[in-house]
């Protein structure tokens, strides 16, 4: 099971769009996928349109036991092959800026429970996509601690480099403090207009700053993306010329992610059993 955190510390760059596009490409590829919706806006959950669950991610982050996790996972409306660990607006209340190590480990513990479930042959997920909020609190940090790889999302604007750099620094900090096996899978540039001189200039700026981490394929800015999301459909099934162009780009990004992350699959951690805030919990 390969676990990938998709993040950006700048809002509105299309991070959830990338998660959904990768899930659509994985569905087309036949790779069973679990989307974990960590964003309190719950846009990924809304587009995947799962049935109502008994628990949500908010419950899982507080009690990462297998019965709770299983109850929070539902099949998406996209068909067999993409499931959702259902998001909730309540996770915003858990998004502390400085959580203890034990709390940061709860998402990883939950995914390890899913991993045990997979070993029984009931949930053979090949890919887990963690849709992070655009902030560096407990939710994003938990995703980085639990993931084997991190994919940064940005757009070709004036603030693209600074936003991507802050996310890159967060990955490096998490690698040093909690997760030494965390790898940076790449930087995805989203909403690109190929004929825009400004966009080409900013992409070149990103490449000068991040080098080969910037993926060679960029995601074009096409109305079909919003149309497919509004219809709760995978981009690969939307069928317009713009949708086919975007779908091809997502196929290439997924191939890069899977290839780059072979050594970054989900692994076992020695999660801290307690930390300085345990007394407060009591």
Mean pLDDT of 256-269: 61
Q: Which fold has domain 2-268?
A: Rossmann fold (3.40.50)
Q: Is the pLDDT of residue 194 over 90?
A: no
Q: Is the pLDDT of residue 279 over 80?
A: no
Tokens 């400004």, residue?
198
Q: Is the pLDDT of residue 268 over 70?
A: no
The pLDDT-based confidence of 259 (bands split at 50, 70, 90) is confident
Residue ranges of domains in the chain? 2-268
User: Could you report the per-residue pLDDT of 135-179, keeping only the tens digit for each?
Assistant: 888 999 999 999 999 999 999 988 877 888 889 999 999 999 999
* Rounded-to-integer distance, Cα 20 and Cα 229, Å: 9
Q: Is the pLDDT of residue 262 over 70?
A: no
Mean pLDDT, all residues of the chain: 87
Q: Is the pLDDT of residue 186 over 90?
A: yes
223-244 burial string, b = 16+ CB within 10 Å, else e? ebbeebbeeebbbbebeeebbe
* Rounded-to-integer distance, Cα 238 and Cα 244, Å: 8
User: Could you report the per-residue pLDDT of 66-117, keeping only the tens digit for each?
Assistant: 999 999 999 999 988 999 999 999 999 888 877 777 788 999 999 988 877 7
């Amino acid at each position: 099971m390969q676990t990938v955190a998709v993040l950006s510390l700048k809002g509105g760059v299309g991070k959830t769009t990338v998660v959904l596009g990768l899930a659509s490409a994985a569905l087309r590829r036949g790779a069973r996928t679990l989307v974990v919706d960590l964003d309190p806006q719950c846009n990924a959950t809304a587009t995947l349109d799962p049935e109502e669950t008994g628990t949500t991610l908010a419950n899982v982050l507080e009690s990462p036991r297998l019965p709770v996790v299983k109850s929070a996972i539902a099949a998406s409306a996209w068909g067999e092959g993409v499931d959702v660990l259902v998001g909730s607006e309540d996770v915003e209340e858990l998004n502390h800026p400085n959580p203890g190590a034990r709390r940061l480990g709860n998402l990883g513990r939950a995914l390890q429970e899913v991993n045990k479930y997979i070993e029984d042959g009931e949930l053979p997920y090949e890919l887990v996509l963690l849709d992070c909020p655009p902030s560096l609190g407990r939710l994003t940090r938990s995703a980085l601690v639990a993931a084997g790889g991190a994919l940064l999302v940005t757009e070709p604007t004036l603030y693209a480099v600074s936003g991507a750099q802050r996310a890159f620094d967060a990955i490096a900090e998490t690698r040093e403090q909690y997760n030494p096996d965390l790898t940076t899978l790449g930087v995805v540039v989203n909403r690109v207009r190929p004929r825009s001189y400004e966009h080409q200039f900013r992409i070149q700026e990103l490449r000068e700053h991040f080098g080969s981490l910037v993926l060679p394929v960029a995601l074009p800015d096409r109305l079909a993306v919003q149309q497919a999301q509004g219809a709760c459909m995978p981009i690969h099934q939307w069928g317009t010329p713009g949708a086919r162009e975007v779908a091809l780009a997502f196929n290439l990004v997924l191939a890069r992610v899977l290839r780059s992350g072979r050594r970054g699959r989900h692994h076992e951690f020695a999660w801290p059993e307690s930390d300085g805030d345990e007394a407060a919990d009591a």
